[in-house]
Amino acid sequence: MEDPCGIVRFRDNRVASRKAEEAGLRRYRAAGWLEGMVGPLEIPPQPSEAEFVSCLRNGLVLCNLINKIQPGAVPRVINNHSHRLTLEAQPPPAYQYFENIRNFLVAVGELKLPAFEASDLERDTLESGSTSKIVDCILSLKSFHEWKMYSGGNGSCKFPKSPVALNSSGNFFHTLLPQGLSSADVWACPLVPRTRRQTTKVTNIYPRISMPLLIKTLCERVFSSKENIDQNILASLLSGVSVRFWSSPFAEIMSSSLQGHQVHCSWCLGNVDCNHGQILEAQEKELGGMKVLLSKMRTDVLSFHSQLQSDLTLLGSQVQGLSVSALGYSRAMKENRSLYNMLQDLKGSIRVYCRIRPGFDSEVESSIEFTGDDGSLRIADPSKPKDPQKIFQFNKVFGGTATQEEVYRDTQPLIRSVMDGYNVCIFAYGQTGSGKTHTMFGRSDACGADLGINYRALNDLFEISCSRSDAIKYEVRVQMVEIYNDQVRDLLGTIQIRSCSGNGGLSLPDAALHAVKYPEDVRRLMRLGESNRVLCSTAINQRSSRSHSVLTVHVHGEEISGGAIYGRLHLVDLAGSERVDKSEVTGERLKEAQHINRSLSCLGDVMAALGQKNSHVPYRNCKLTQLLQDSLGGQAKTLMFAHVSPEADSYEETISTLRFAQRVSRVELGSATRNRESNEVRKLREQVEDLKKAMAAGRRGDVQRSEATPPCAGQMSSGNRQAADETPNLASKSLTKQTPLRSRRLSLEGGLSHGRNPLPQARVSEVSSNFPSRVHRRRRVNAPSRRSLFLVSESNPKTGERIQIDAASEDARVLQKYGGGETLEADGGLSWGQPRSRVKDVGSRGSQIRKSLQTFGRLINGDNRSQPSDPGARASRRSSLGEIQCRRRPVSSRRQSVGRCLCHPPDS
């Protein structure tokens, strides 16, 4: 809806502002001209009404002005005050300016120019628009001055006049007055009569001119005036004079006078030919249209707004739904990943992380196309753009921007499991210069953010040890060796070390094992190890490692509850594979490179055999694989870092590393076992020890009774040893022959009668789990709980039985009897193929035998699970088991000597 009141108000405001604007322009013009005539007035170039009046108030300026235009017009100018008055100055005494003003007005009157009233200059009566008469007066003086100057006072002078002045004062008509009429008459007779008396007076004053003529003359004068800046004077008159007046004959005269004169545009103040009126009209029309459009648009915007609101609400609910789904998805992904990891752990898969070294030269093209968060990696050979891209999938891929911290974060859980009793092996593999040492050790001057996995891992181990100190007391020991040219060297000791190959891999009994209590100890040792490592500069790497370094951390924890934990961490920084044509090595370096490449190829063979689940895994082909055997052979958690260089010219090496890594990721080692001995197992072990002691004590008594006790393995003479060596042959023969049971009782610690020739004593001598041949290993895998042991007659080591104990069912049976040609009685004791229940019937010593067999079975079972693979721990276990020490047969005799037993004194 349009607001008519608003439009009217707008129009009124516009007219008022136009008027104020016009009055202002006239005032500025008058002030400018005054300054030019009488000198500076110290008012701004565009003075306000108050400022303008203030400088005229004492009449001095005006008197000086009129005297300049018409010399002698005001004969006596009172000049007590400076005419430079400002608005702030005190007004001069009234009598002074009154006289000046009065004289000025008289002089103006004599010149027949429009005048004003003295009161117009008074401050108190100063109102907006009241200066227009003063301005008119000054501008008419200006016109008069110019007229005098340019025409020498001849002809008629045209004075500018403001509409207000025209409307309210009759002074302008002085120029029109017939001869004989004074200005006083004019003053007394306004043009527009307001009262009846005034009308009469006008008629009286203008007896000789008719009103129509007067008005016509007035119109002519007004329109022909070039001085009047407001040439729209009539339009102003039309808006200022009452309707009643214009309906009079005056209006007719006016309109007839206006014929032939164009009403000037009130917008551009005088452009006769302008089309502002039409433009205004058109614009108003347009404005009307726009208003309609605006209201339509407003409606549209409102409907759009409400539509938008509802859309936003809908979108919000959809986004919320999406975010819930996304949350669920990420949770599912997390679960999937953890399940996948669990599956990997159960399968014992080797985890493979790939790390890409940042490029050294940004201008060199990279072969890495894409690395995904899900462990995918896409590479391409930039020199062969047509070749298809190759995609690999690993557990994780770290791009060139990955920090040491990020890399360690994904490794940390594995490190932590060492403290829970797992064996862990982390090794870095890759081409020379691809960043293996950087990952494992960090920079050579590493500190803080640059520290590699080795330092961070040990720091973490100490932290965990501190946080669990209430429940477990940990002991951490560190060993660091390198394999240089297929020789093992101790990096923390000075002596040359000996390595012993065994079934479980390579043992290094001489390598220095340092107990560490604080991270600083570790740092010191590692720095020492690093400094002892063989490094050299090649064309590819300034500090190329020429050896495989193996840092081993042994963690032993004693639980408050009595249990024990053993964990071992191998941190291996392999030397990098290198193409000797690229590394440009010769002489000693070439030999090193050949050794490195050979050992890495052996590692590849081992991985291939493990991947294919071959029965034979070629660990023994080099020292590196021997050393890693117990990590790769099962029961350990293994992680490989495959390092690649991004440069296009390393593409071939990158491909080969990634293919190797892919093969490794498919290797399943079987689930890792925890090396924890519970309190119960400990107690059982102690029981066995007590039993052994009791047996030893009994044996000593027998020794005292009989000097004929045969020497055991440790004490055997060469003749006896020879005899003992023959035993396995007998044993193997009897195994194959399956000797039938004969009536014979086996005496254990003298408790059982041995038929006619009771055996004074029998004791446990060998655990067959040490059989090294493949056949037996397989058997062990299939039936891990079954162990056999030999009961050997103390008096004659060539006689005895081999009894199999099934630890799970606690079943015991005689597998084999050898020597002496006697068999056990079926009804009284252990007999061939009899279940363990029969053991109960072996008489007064039966329960003791049964107990010892049970204990032994459990022990063996537990012992197998937690058997430490390092030589030191194995030795301690051996000594604690005393008489059940396992003896290995010479390698040459292994195949034929399956099941042989050796006897030895219990306290050896």
User: What residues are designated binding site for ATP?
Assistant: 430-437
Q: Are 451 and 530 in contact (CB under 8 A)?
A: no
Which residue from 358, 372, 413, 562 is in contact with ligand ATP, where contact means CB under 6 A?
358
Of 144-152, 273-281, 365-373, 536-544, the segment contacting ligand ATP by CB under 6 A is 536-544
DSSP state of 510: T
Q: Do 549 and 576 meet the contact criterion of CB atoms below 8 Å apart?
A: no
Contacts of 8 (CB under 8 A, 6+ apart): none
Taking CB under 6 A as the rule, which mask of x and - marks residues 774-813 in contact with ligand ATP? ----------------------------------------
Q: Which is nearer to ligand ATP, 421 or 433 (CB)?
A: 433
CB count within 10 Å of CB 639 equals 20
Beta strands in 508-576 (DSSP E): 514-516, 535-536, 544-545, 548-559, 564-573
In angstroms, what is the minimal distance from the CB of 395 to ligand ATP? 18
Closer by beta carbon to ligand ATP, 357 or else 763: 357
Q: Does 545 participate in binding ligand ATP (rule CB under 6 A)?
A: yes
The amino acid sitting at 180 is G
Cα–Cα separations (whole angstroms), residue 651 to 123, 382, 436: 99, 9, 17
706 phi, psi to nearest 5 deg:
-130, 125
The DSSP secondary structure of 398-461, one letter per residue, reads E-TT--HHHHHHHHHHHHHHHTTT-EEEEEEEEBTTSSHHHHHTBSTT--GGGB-HHHHHHHHH
Minimal distance, residue 402 CB to ligand ATP, in Å = 7
Tell me how far apart the alpha carbons of residues 712 and 723 are, in angstroms, rounded to a whole number. Answer: 11
**In the complex, least distance from residue 573 CB atom to ligand ATP, rounded to whole angstroms:** 7
Measured CA to CA in angstroms, residue 681 lies from 582, 760, 855 at distances of 57, 30, 9
**Looking at beta carbons only, is 535 or 696 nearer to ligand ATP?**
535
- Choose the stretch contacting ligand ATP; rule: CB under 6 A; options: 24-32, 418-426, 436-444, 842-850: 436-444
**595 scored as a contact of ligand ATP (CB under 6 A):** no
Q: Tokens at residue 127, please?
A: 């109102």
Q: From the list 236, 432, 629, 638, which residue makes contact with ligand ATP (rule: CB under 6 A)?
A: 432
Helices in 88-193 by DSSP H: which ranges? 94-110, 132-151, 163-168, 183-188
As beta bridge partners, residue 477 has 515, 554
Task: Give the residue ranges of the annotated binding site.
Answer: 430-437
Q: Which of 440, 682, 657 is nearest to 562 (CA)?
A: 682
Q: C-beta of 647: minimal distance to ligand ATP in Å?
A: 11
Closest approach, Cβ 577 to ligand ATP, in A, equals 8
Give me 645's structure tokens: 């260089």
412 in Cβ contact with 459 (< 8 Å): no
Among the candidate windows 542-550, 735-743, 793-801, 889-897, which touches ligand ATP by CB under 6 A? 542-550
Q: Which residue has the tokens 């039966």?
A: 846
Closest approach, Cβ 800 to ligand ATP, in A, equals 56
Three-class SS state of 907? coil
* Binder among 57, 438, 570, 699 for ligand ATP (CB under 6 A): 438
CB of 506 to ligand ATP, least distance (A): 22
Give 579 or 693: the residue with its C-beta nearer to ligand ATP. Answer: 579
Here the tokens at position 411 are: 């490794």
Binding segment for ligand ATP (CB under 6 A), chosen from 187-195, 281-289, 431-439, 675-683, is 431-439
Among 544, 675, 793, 831, binds ligand ATP (CB under 6 A): 544
Q: Identify which of residues 645 and 675 has a Cβ nearer to ligand ATP in the complex.
A: 645
Rounded least distance, CB 430 to ligand ATP, Å: 6
Nearest to 905 by CA among 768, 732, 751, 710: 710
Residue 121 or 446 having the CB closest to ligand ATP: 446
What is the nearest approach in angstroms of ligand ATP to the Cβ of residue 587? 17
What is the per-residue DSSP string for 351-376?
EEEEEEPPPS-TTSPBSEEEE-TTSE
- Is residue 92 near ligand ATP by the rule CB under 6 A? no
Cβ-contact 821, 793 below 8 angstroms: no
In the numeric block, the tokens 């500090």 are attached to 543
Residue 357 in the binding site for ligand ATP (CB under 6 A): yes
Residue nearest to ligand ATP (CB): 576
Least distance to ligand ATP, CB of residue 480, Å: 16
- Record the tokens describing residue 339, joined without a space: 């399940």
Beta carbons within 10 angstroms of residue 814's beta carbon? 22
Residue 599: exposure state from Cβ atoms within 10 A (0-12, 13-18, ≥19): buried
DSSP states of 825-890 as a string? -TTTS--BT--GGGGGGS-TTHHHHHHHHHHHHHHHHHHHHT---SHHHHHHHHHHHGGG---PPP
435 touches ligand ATP by CB under 6 A: yes
Q: Which of 68, 543, 683, 888 binds ligand ATP (CB under 6 A)?
A: 543
**Count residues contacting ligand ATP (CB under 6 A)?**
18
| Shorter beta-carbon distance to ligand ATP: residue 89 or 539 | 539
Among 351, 436, 745, 763, binds ligand ATP (CB under 6 A): 436
Q: 357 or 817, CB closer to ligand ATP?
A: 357
> Amino acid identity, residue 748?
L
User: Of 114-122, 425-433, 550-558, 785-793, which part binds ligand ATP (CB under 6 A)?
Assistant: 425-433
Backbone angles phi, psi at 792, to 5 degrees: -115, 140
Which is nearer to ligand ATP, 358 or 372 (by Cβ)? 358
- Which of 541, 727, 732, 869 contacts ligand ATP by CB under 6 A? 541
> Which among 835, 831, 834 is positioned nearest to 744, based on CA atoms?
831
Q: Which of 114, 576, 800, 857 binds ligand ATP (CB under 6 A)?
A: 576
State whether residue 815 is helix, strand or coil: strand
Based on the shown chain and the rule CB under 6 A, indicate whether residue 434 belongs to the binding site for ligand ATP. Answer: yes
Min dist CB 527 to ligand ATP, Å, is 16
Residues 608-647 that bind ligand ATP (CB under 6 A): 643
Q: How far is the CB of 868 from ligand ATP (least distance, A)?
A: 31
Min dist. Cβ of residue 432 to ligand ATP (A): 4
Q: What is the smallest separation between the CB atom of 621 and ligand ATP, expressed in angstroms?
A: 21
Of 834, 809, 811, 831, the C-alpha closest to 822 is: 831
CA 178, distance to chain mean position in Å, is 100
Q: Which member of 59, 163, 170, 433 binds ligand ATP (CB under 6 A)?
A: 433
Among 256-264, 437-445, 811-819, 872-880, the segment contacting ligand ATP (CB under 6 A): 437-445
Tell me which residues touch ligand ATP (CB under 6 A). 357-358, 430, 432-438, 443, 541, 543-545, 575-576, 643
